[in-house]
Amino acid sequence: MSGSAGLIAGEKQAEIPLEWRAEFEAAARRPLAQRMRYAFIRTYKPVLDDAPFRAWNSTAEYREWCDQNLPAWLGYGSV
């Protein structure tokens, strides 16, 4: 298979909008290091990013610290 049709399994090339295909093909030509650099968006996480290192003696201590210190929207609290 050639072109983007071989890269997107199960999709017919005609069903993919031309501008999407052009963006995908341009991204596929970039070096891997460049793709990895732009693949992830760094987002500040309150409290978690405020210290370079933390350690706990047990998982229970870690979970207690999460419950007491992290905002619930981060998803590290107990259920």
Enclosing domain of residue 28 = 3-39
The pair of structure tokens assigned to 49 is 């990013």
In order of 15, 17, 20, 45, 50, the CA distances from 11 in angstroms are 7, 11, 13, 37, 44
User: Model-level pTM greater than 0.75?
Assistant: no
- Report the number of distinct structural domains present in the chain: 2
- Looking at the structure, do residues 52 and 78 belong to the same domain, yes or no? yes
- Looking at the structure, do residues 53 and 30 belong to the same domain, yes or no? no
- Looking at the structure, do residues 56 and 73 belong to the same domain, yes or no? yes
Q: pLDDT tens, position by position, for the chain (79 residues)?
A: 455 545 555 556 678 899 999 999 999 999 999 988 888 888 899 999 999 999 999 999 999 999 999 999 999 988 8
